[in-house]
Chains A and B, each alone.
Chain A
Amino acid sequence: MSMSDHNDAPSGKTRPTSGTTAPRSTLSRRSILQMAGGAASLAAAAGVAAQPALPGGPPVASTMHVRMVVNGSARQLEVDPRQSLLDVLRETLDLTGTKKGCNQGACGACTVLLNGRRVTSCLTLAVMHDGAEITTIEGLAQGDELHPLQAAFIAHDGFQCGFCTPGQIMSGVACIAEGHATSPEQIQFWMSGNICRCGAYPGIVAAVADAAGRT
């Protein structure tokens, strides 16, 4: 066979690379034009406008007052209630060490300590945390002295591009504090909420184990 004739169905994989149930053999260009309406079947029945218009929503107070202790400093903030804790840290307080990797709680790059517990700061609203204590990556070192886990990340090369690193380190600090850094396997399990696309996992595990042994 030659590749140009390769029109047979894709190997019966049940989770295909792409597809629908539309029988492939009938998908000629002609039937496609007829299916233009079919394409619209994906869009809401309402028709053309993909996004319903709800301009602005109900009238609300545009900002609310929130007090937080961030990395040991008391902060008074006026925030839009919609603002995530992550956006307040990055855009309002210019603490850009905490990263936005997915904004959907699916990567862990935005991990901070909220009242001592690790959370994904993208999936919580700043207004929910009046009076809270927040620790970000910027608040970990004591002056010039790195936190033991920060030092261990350097020593064990627990990162490459560095973008997930603040989240990994904050998560690792919590992992150790929770008592979950008891073995490499446990560390792997309890660090699986932080994705590293460079694949620095071996170094991350070694760094957390090392720092856990020192603290």
Chain B
Amino acid sequence: MTTNVIGIPLTRVDGRAKVTGAARYAADFNQHAQLHAVIVGATTGLGRVTALDETSARAMPGVVEVISHLNAPRLPYGPHKSFIDPAVGERLHVLQDDQVRFYGQPVALVVADTLDHAERAANALRISYAAERPVVDTHDPAAQTVEPSGSGAHGDTLRGDADRALAEAPVKVDATYDMARENHNPMEPHAVVAAWDGNRLTLWSKSQFVVNEQAEIAAIFGLPAQNVQVICPFIGGAFGTSLRTWPHVTLAAMAARQVGRPVKLVLTRKQMFFTTGHRPRTLQRVAIGATRDGRITSIVHEGNGETSRYEQFTEALLSATSYMYSCPNVRTRYRLTPLDTGTPNHMRGPGEASGIFALESAIDELSYGLGLDPIELRRRNEPTMDEGADKPFSSRSLMQCYDAGAERFGWARRTPAPRSMRDGRLLVGMGVASATYPVFFGPASARVRLHADGTAAVEVAASDMGPGTYTSMTQVAAETLGIPVEQVRVSIGHSDFPPAPPHGGSMTMASVGSAVRAACLAARDEVTRRAVADQRSPVFGAALDGIEWIGGSLRRLGDSSPGQTYHDVVASSGQPVEVHASNQRDADAASRYSMHSFGAVFAEVAIDPDVGTIRVRRAVGTYGAGRIVNPRLASSQCTGGMIGGIGMALMEQTALDTRDGRPVNAHMADYLMPVNLDIGSLEAHFVDEDDPHVNVLGVKGLGEIALVGMAPAVANAIYHATGIRVRDLPIRIEDILTA
């Protein structure tokens, strides 16, 4: 009988569906008699629509409807905010007025019988604007910096007197960092198929948070939530872009109601750069003071992120600075620059990925100033507790990660001086950086049904954008129920299922996994209750606590018989067991401990000194992330995140034309992301970490930390290879050539 399924490298239970093309993503849910909708985006960056000639578009072949602010239904847009929405500001109300707030904002929608007809008419639609000049660059003197006015989650912090300590420090670094705006660019464009049945709406929609999309759309249309169904069994990558419900979902629903037929709406790749969020460009200053023997005495970390004019998007840009190092004097300051763009949103490793780049670059710089090995510098300043929160860590294995990673990577072969390592003509450099991310936990529930044939069905409104939710939840259920994984069927991605938190923030395993476990335990209890009440059962009459569950069977404590299988109990009772349970966490532990994952990321770069090309030849990421449910999938998730970090370090940048705010490289040939040939040898390792405090499964999550730390490791390796310190991302050929 299968036991200890958690921790084995099970292949993906949905693998067959994905390799045969059977896995269905939002745009694959073609409906009978469906029409196609195409969004027309504003071609000015700020101003208003002054005229829109829909008459000629309506007359074009196949066109069924043209919707703009002139004829769009006024939607209730009832209040709705979940915790992934910005706390301050109000979401874009699409097609409700003539205002253009940013380039590419939807200003009209064309619905036609075929995609070609809809695209043609959308291109032909004549629209006039009263244009103003938008401000889209943080460096624009017209851009204003504001203090976030939200609930203070990312407010300023101070311990000690950081500025005085900095001034008095014998060794210091003080540098600024400019990180480019990025777009998530999942392979799957946002897509939705909307169909109404009377007053009930079904959305097959790309979403990392189906229950929130249900609530949001219900609020926008003034419907009871139960009238909206959101279905999303598979997500073709998202990295945060599908956490929020963006205007295209509203548009598809609006159009489908207007035309009385199902409507399919898929964003073009170009439109993926307009209204579906982005990692905000950040400007940061990090100043660190230290004693000559490498004790950090002061850290000042100031950060600025861009946001839109209508919402304040904040992220945890500076949070890690308060707990990464032991330091009596720390000051952080976070500001926002509202710009005439769409609202940013969370992108893999939000906040930490950017903040850690600056902090870990500065630490590296300090190590050279001190003449200390960068790992040794970190070791000398390793805290014994979270000095920012004044709490112990639930677990912190950072130094174990450095030890294991240095060994795997061969850090000892590194010669300390910049520009001291070569491979033939190539300059070689080795760099290292720390990674961290909080352990989040959200309320989740799951439903489990045990059938008489021995199978178990698990339902939860979670999502799987790639980490392997189907597989890991199957493992949790199989282990808890003591049955083979083949007998477990997990269903997710449906708003009718018990609610789950957003599939983001690396919290799915912790939150949903705990809920699945709780539901499976509740199912076992129900089976036990039925068995002891069943005269035909060998355990009839036993006390509930006198029963033990071995594999998929139950027997009296101390009994050595095989016992009664649970499906036998279910079969005898004549009806399936169905239970519903919510996850629980020790609230006390959550308030007593600081809970984070940590990791050490090592990178080796080779740089052609003649033409400046940079290649990451090797990287090793070592993580202390609690219990690893599936090492095969965990390794893939981490190497994938490392590749995302390589993109951040060397390629990714959404370039805006300041004249009208248009993203100029809104194209996959121009917004560069790594291709297969860019990637050298990558390894992910996990140190053993038993954390009893974080949650019942002891898991911390991996999706975000996998990206955090890679970019500074690469930048630090580039410095080691060349002696050139580049503080702005992405780092490119010209930074090597012209330095």
Contacts and interface: CB of A to CB of B under 8 A. Distances in A.
Do A and B contact each other directly (Cβ–Cβ < 8 Å)? Answer: yes
B657 interface: yes
A18 B131 CA distance: 20
Contacts of B120: 56-57
A27 B176 contact: no
B459 to A, nearest CB: 21
Given A42-B659, A50-B127, A188-B677, A197 B16 contact: no
Nearest to B671: A106
Given A80-B114, A160-B467, A3 B285 contact: yes
A107 to B, nearest CB: 5
Smallest CB-CB A-B distances: 9 pairs? A97-B21, A163-B236, A199-B643, A160-B466, A199-B640, A162-B18, A161-B466, A96-B28, A137-B21
Contact of B128 (A6, A29, A49, A100): A49
A40 B131 contact: yes
A36 interface: yes
A25 B142 CA distance: 10
Interface string B622-651: 000000000011011101111110000000
A203 B643 CA distance: 13
Interface of B: 11-12, 14-25, 27-28, 30, 43-45, 51, 56-57, 59-61, 114-116, 120, 123-129, 131-133, 135-142, 145, 176, 178, 180-181, 185-189, 234-239, 266, 268-269, 281, 283-285, 302-304, 333, 335, 464-468, 632-633, 635-637, 639-644, 653-660, 662, 667-669, 673-677, 679, 682, 727-728, 732, 734-735, 738
B139 A13 contact: no
Contacts of A42: 657, 659-660, 662
A99 B115 contact: no
A49 B126 contact: yes
Interface in A170-215: 187-189, 191-205
A19 B137 contact: yes
A157 B126 contact: no
Contact of B676 (A51, A91, A99, A201): A201
Contact of A199 (B15, B56, B188, B642): B642
A162 B17 CA distance: 9
Given A94-B30, A161-B237, A199-B642, A11 B178 contact: yes
B131 A36 contact: yes
Contact of B302 (A2, A54, A104, A155): A2
Nearest to B143: A7
B190 to A, nearest CB: 12
A6 B115 contact: no
A38 B659 contact: yes
A211 to B, nearest CB: 12
B136 to A, nearest CB: 6
Nearest to A81: B116
Given A199-B641, A199-B642, A200-B636, A138 B20 contact: yes
A68 interface: no
Contact of A3 (B24, B27, B333, B674): B333
B676 A154 contact: no
Contacts of A97: 20-22
Given A13-B728, A201-B643, A109 B187 contact: yes
A55 B128 CA distance: 17
Interface residues of A, number: 104
A45 interface: no
A32 B235 contact: no
B466 A83 contact: no
Contacts of B302: 2-3
B237 A141 contact: no
A157 B11 contact: yes
B187 A196 contact: yes
Given A3-B335, A55-B56, A169 B44 contact: no
Given A99-B236, A193-B675, 18 more contacts: A4-B335, A6-B285, A10-B728, A20-B657, A27-B658, A80-B114, A87-B116, A97-B22, A101-B668, A141-B20, A154-B16, A162-B14, A162-B18, A163-B187, A189-B676, A197-B673, A198-B187, A202-B636
B124 A13 contact: no
Contact of B186 (A15, A27, A36, A197): A197
A192 B642 CA distance: 18
Given A25-B141, A163-B187, A169-B19, A195 B639 contact: no
Contact of A104 (B115, B637, B667): B667
Contact of A163 (B11, B129, B188): B188
A29 B142 contact: yes
Contacts of A11: 178, 727-728
A39 B45 contact: yes
Contacts of A7: 139, 141
A27 B126 CA distance: 31
A106 B669 CA distance: 5
B15 A32 contact: no
Contacts of A195: 187, 668, 673, 675
A5 to B, nearest CB: 9
Given A24-B139, A54-B124, A18 B657 contact: yes
Interface in A137-170: 137-138, 140-141, 146, 150-151, 153-155, 157, 159-166, 169
A106 B187 CA distance: 11
Nearest to A18: B656
B30 A101 contact: no
Nearest to B114: A80
A48 interface: yes
A205 B679 CA distance: 11
A9 B127 CA distance: 36
